[in-house]
Amino acid sequence: MQFSVTKLRSVAQHDTGLRKQVEVRKRVKQWWFTTDSGKLALSVRYGARLLELAKGKYAFELASEKELVPTLELIKSAVLSGELDAAIDAASSKLRAGFGK
């Protein structure tokens, strides 16, 4: 069984015009991709924005899929300790600027 995220969507019936809630699958963007050299690159997002993890760096490069879970645990501990607060604040500011505030 594969995990899938769902959300509720309001749909109108064509014949009666009544609206009802249906559960549909939600698209989840993948956090990692394979580079040209065959390694994995893991990016971290704040909403639709990529977080800048270091100056000009937006992804971690991993040698194999075996490093994926330990790297995610490392990222989690960095977030909990506040190490990514500056990057999150920068992404948040850019996001708010897009709304004209």
**How many C-beta atoms surround the C-beta of residue 88 within 10 A?**
15
Confidence of residue 101 (pLDDT cuts 50, 70, 90): low
| Alpha-carbon span 26 to 78, nearest angstrom | 28
Higher pLDDT, 83 or 47: 83
Which amino acid, residue 100? G
pLDDT digits (tens, 9 = 90+) for 37-73: 889 998 888 877 888 888 888 888 998 888 888 988 9
- Asked if 4 contacts 25 with a C-beta cutoff of 8 angstroms, the reply is yes
In this predicted structure, what is the pLDDT of residue 1? Answer: 58
Share of the chain above pLDDT 90, in %: 18
